Amino acid sequence: MFELFHDLSLGASASLLLALFFVLAYEFINGFHDTANAVATVIYTKAMPANLAVVASGIFNFFGVMLGGLGVAYAIVHLLPVELILNVGSGHGLVMVFALLASAILWNFGTWYVGLPASSSHTLIGSILGVGIAHSLMNGIPLNQGINTGKAIDIMLSLLISPTVGFLVAGGMLLVLRRYASNTRLHFTPEERKNFDGKKRPPFWTRFTLIASAMGVSFAHGSNDGQKGIGLLMLVLIGLAPTQFVLDLTNTPYQIERTRAAAVQMGEFYERHAALLNEHVKPPRKAGIVLPEAFACEAETTLPAIALLQQRLDGLKGYADLHVDDRRQVRRLILCLDNTAKKVAALPGLPSTDKADLNKLRKDLVVPTEYAPQWAIVLIALALGLGTMVGWKRIVLTVGEKIGKTGMTYAQGASAQITASLAIGIASFTGMPVSTTHVLSSAVAGTMVANRSGLQGSTVRSILLAWVFTLPATILLSGGLFWLATKFI
């Protein structure tokens, strides 16, 4: 970890420490903001004591981050305009990181303070889109080039669909339980069971299901939301300590050869489909493979970039053998080639088998750029896990008492949590960011409707307003901070 400060000046080291603090603060707030959703049902159904539930949730969040992979992390990062990612070490690039982090922290903390289950995923995505849009407007770049609109649409669809799925699936699960297990204590609230047989806790297997599903939500939350923090942390490391982190210095000669071979095969792929790809991949304007130091990811640079990357990696045993400027150039080449490949893979006229081949080549190509050191993953896991253990009461109160008009039954708690853990887990596996807050809140609402308990209109309106306003508010906040800060650099 101490390689962070290798060759850094005192000022650069201070900037790096501040940026790391911002990232870890965001993840800590995310812990007590979002993970309260994971323990709300298990607390209010008396399946676990509150303090034990929170500690257990923090532990499962920790392991969710550790074992969750990096698919969501880089799905979030690639929302940023490629030019900002390429120049993340520049003044504008670093201002971008600080602006989006400040925006996400302010909105998350504010909504937590008033006890509103707003989405940390919406918050972060809105903050990223805000700096991308501001960058476009300030530089006269079309919005569809200033932000990754395809990735943004995919993510927004997942954020829109997942609460709907949570509402319907949890409600449907409760209806099945009411039909086939209607004469059991499963449908009691803790108070109703106390009046029935003097006990508040759920029956053994119901309690086991509630605890297991709550820990499943916590693990899934860690694997999904924790990755977003990892992606932000990597942006900071690449920008402020490029000597060590612009490429994965642990890549073996075999991995380097995979990246080189992927680039070569991409070139051959483009040549085979030259007629179809003439708008995305064009022959170079002049012979040779010399590119300007800060070339843009344009159609004319694709084939020269492939040739230059092949030249840089040919016979290379380790990225540490490259000068830091050459490492930056290799990263730039890879990001540009990956950006072109994503556009090509989305073309409607390309056969599905060719798209699959191109996506496989992309995975090999980005091995040295889409990574995270183990200590960085541990830091994010600790921040999220510890955040889970504090500040949870405000959101738990909203989810447990203020969504439905009546108390939560054991069946409702289990249905909501099983639905949320499965939905978030599947999203993490497929690399799509979803909102733990909205999935769980919608699932609870779905069980209340299915149980004919009714919803508290004021709470539902507040949650819906937060869902509607989080994106525009964070877009304006991060974009405004980015614009303001660039006036002083």
DSSP state of 406: S
The percentage of residues in the chain with a pLDDT greater than 90, rounded to a whole number, is 13
Give the pLDDT confidence score for residue 385 in this predicted structure. 85
391, pLDDT greater than 70: no
Q: Which residue has the higher pLDDT, 342 or 467?
A: 342
Q: Which of 67-71, 114-118, 393-397, 432-436 has the highest mean pLDDT?
A: 67-71
What's the pLDDT band for 183 if we cut at 50, 70, 90? low
CA-to-CA dists, residue 431 to 3, 248, 413, 422, 428, angstroms: 29, 21, 27, 14, 5
Report phi then psi at 455, rounded to 5: -115, 150
401, pLDDT greater than 60: no
C-beta separation of 90 from 249 below 8 A: no
Q: How many residues does the chain have?
A: 489
Q: Which of 21-30, 76-85, 156-165, 461-470 has the highest mean pLDDT?
A: 21-30
pLDDT tens digits, 361-375 = 999 999 999 999 999
Cα–Cα distance for residue pair 215/421, rounded to 1 Å: 8
What's the pLDDT band for 260 if we cut at 50, 70, 90? very high
DSSP state of 186: G
Give the pLDDT confidence score for residue 5 in this predicted structure. 63
Cα–Cα distance for residue pair 47/360, rounded to 1 Å: 45
Q: Which among 315, 226, 262, 314 is positioned nearest to 23, based on CA atoms?
A: 226
The residue ranges of every structural domain in the chain are 16-240+374-486, 248-365
Give the pLDDT confidence score for residue 255 in this predicted structure. 94
Give the pLDDT confidence score for residue 253 in this predicted structure. 94
C-beta separation of 277 from 344 below 8 A: yes
Q: Which of 32-41, 169-178, 423-432, 439-448 has the highest mean pLDDT?
A: 169-178
Average pLDDT over residues 242-254: 89
DSSP state of 140: T
CA-to-CA dists, residue 175 to 40, 96, 170, 412, 452, angstroms: 21, 48, 9, 10, 10
The percentage of residues in the chain with a pLDDT greater than 70, rounded to a whole number, is 83
Q: Which among 489, 481, 373 is positioned nearest to 87, based on CA atoms?
A: 489
Enter the pTM of the model.
0.80
DSSP state of 455: B
Give the pLDDT confidence score for residue 318 in this predicted structure. 93
Give the pLDDT confidence score for residue 271 in this predicted structure. 86
Q: Which among 331, 292, 300 is positioned nearest to 313, based on CA atoms?
A: 331
Q: Which among 119, 131, 134, 95 is positioned nearest to 30, based on CA atoms?
A: 119
